Amino acid sequence: MIPVSRPARYAIAGCLAVFTLLWTAPVLWMGMLSLRASDEFYKSPYGLPVPAHWDKFRIAWVEFGYQTYFRNSLIVSITAVLLLIAVGSMAAYFFARYKFPFKEPLYMMIFAAILLPPQVPILALFQMLVRYHLYNTLTGLILVYAASGLPVTLFLLRAFFAQIPLEIEEAARIEGATDWRMYWQVMFPIARPAVVAVVIINLVEFWNEFLYAVVLINQQASRTLPLGIMFFMGDREQDVGMIATGLVITILPVFVLYAMFSERITQSLVAGALGSS
């Protein structure tokens, strides 16, 4: 630590505060716009939201289909994460503890998929989903998401399982636990911190995901929030106020979570991203 004098520290903090204000201004501006009608906006783009039109959220929710989009996003992200944790955590445990033929090549192959630009598999996936009638369905999207989150999940959980002392399993086995019970009642609870991180990483990812959604979903009833925004903008590009309301609806759940568990989320996302490098 280099000693920095007190006044210098406050000077730095002052500069950083100005910087931060500029940095967050786009989001704050959007927040204000979400409470203003578009005609007010065109009169003064930077006015304060007075009076605040909270009603716009109800209108977006009911009349512009955000209710559907929100529900779809919720269903898709949560189901995909649950599926991913069920499958991925067991697979990670399997990779960490069991020996089986072609273990390392298989692992390397899954792991290499992190590098893979999603544009590559998506062409084949599109074809597959159309063939199996999963195109345009939430089920299809859920399966694709769960698969796309697998490499990071496997990587982080395998590392975590590998460092749990073997004695715990030996003790459980002496007590007569089956593999299945030992996993869900002993190992999985121990791995909870890592599982939470994986859940966060993938939940944020799936909630915001756009590429797979835009290619694999093509009807109003199955749209997720990012698609909903995209199409709303296509229809009413000039309605800046209402678009902002939709954007706020989309980011609100993420920001509420971020406000509650900010450190956790930051750490998890960093771990997830670095794990893949």
Partner 1 sequence: MLYLVFTVYPLLRTFYNSLFVLPTVDVEQFVGLENFRLIFTSDSVIWPAVRHTLSWSVCSAFLEIPIAFLLALALYARVPGERVFRLAWFAPMLLSYVVVGPIWQWIYNYDWGPIDVALRFVGLGGVARPWLGNLSTALPALIVVTTWMFVGFNMVVFLAALHSLPGDVIEAAYIDGAGWWRTVGSIMVPLVWPTAAALTVLCVIGKMKQFALVYVMTQGGPLWSTETVATYVIKRAFQWKTVDLGYPSALATLWFLATLAATLLLGLLFQRRAQPESLT
* 214 interacts with partner 1 by CB under 8 A: yes
150 lies in the site for partner 1, by CB under 8 A:
yes
Does residue 164 touch partner 1 according to CB under 8 A?
no
What are the start-end ranges of the H helices in the chain?
A: 6-33, 38-43, 55-63, 66-97, 103-112, 119-131, 138-162, 166-174, 179-181, 188-190, 192-208, 211-216, 225-235, 240-260, 262-275
**Cα–Cα distance, 163 to 274 (Å, whole number):** 19
User: Judged by CB under 8 A, which of 78, 118, 136, 137 binds partner 1?
Assistant: 118
Q: Is 180 in the site for partner 1 (CB under 8 A)?
A: yes
Q: Which is nearer to partner 1, 138 or 245 (CB)?
A: 245
Binding pattern to partner 1, positions 222-241, x when CB under 8 A?
---xxx-xx--x------x-
Q: How far is the CB of 62 from partner 1 (least distance, A)?
A: 21
Please work out the total of residues on this chain that contact partner 1, with binding judged by CB under 8 A. Answer: 91
**Is residue 270 at the binding interface for partner 1, with CB under 8 A as the rule?**
yes
CB-hemisphere CA count at 13 Å for 121?
Answer: 14
Give the nearest distance from C-beta 108 to partner 1 in angstroms: 11
Q: Is residue 269 within the footprint of partner 1 (CB under 8 A)?
A: yes
Residue 272 contacts partner 1 per CB under 8 A: no
| Cα dihedral 13/17/18/24 (nearest 10) | 150
Alpha-carbon distance 103 to 228, whole Å?
Answer: 42
The count of residues in the chain is: 277
Nearer to partner 1, 53 or 261 (CB): 261
Q: Which of 64, 66, 93, 155 binds partner 1 (CB under 8 A)?
A: 93
Which range, of 55-63, 118-126, 167-175, 191-199, touches partner 1 by CB under 8 A? 118-126
Residues 193, 205: Cα–Cα separation, whole Å: 19
Burial class (CB in 10 A: 0-12, 13-18, 19+), 176: exposed
Q: Looking at 17, 62, 162, 196, which residue binds partner 1 (CB under 8 A)?
A: 17
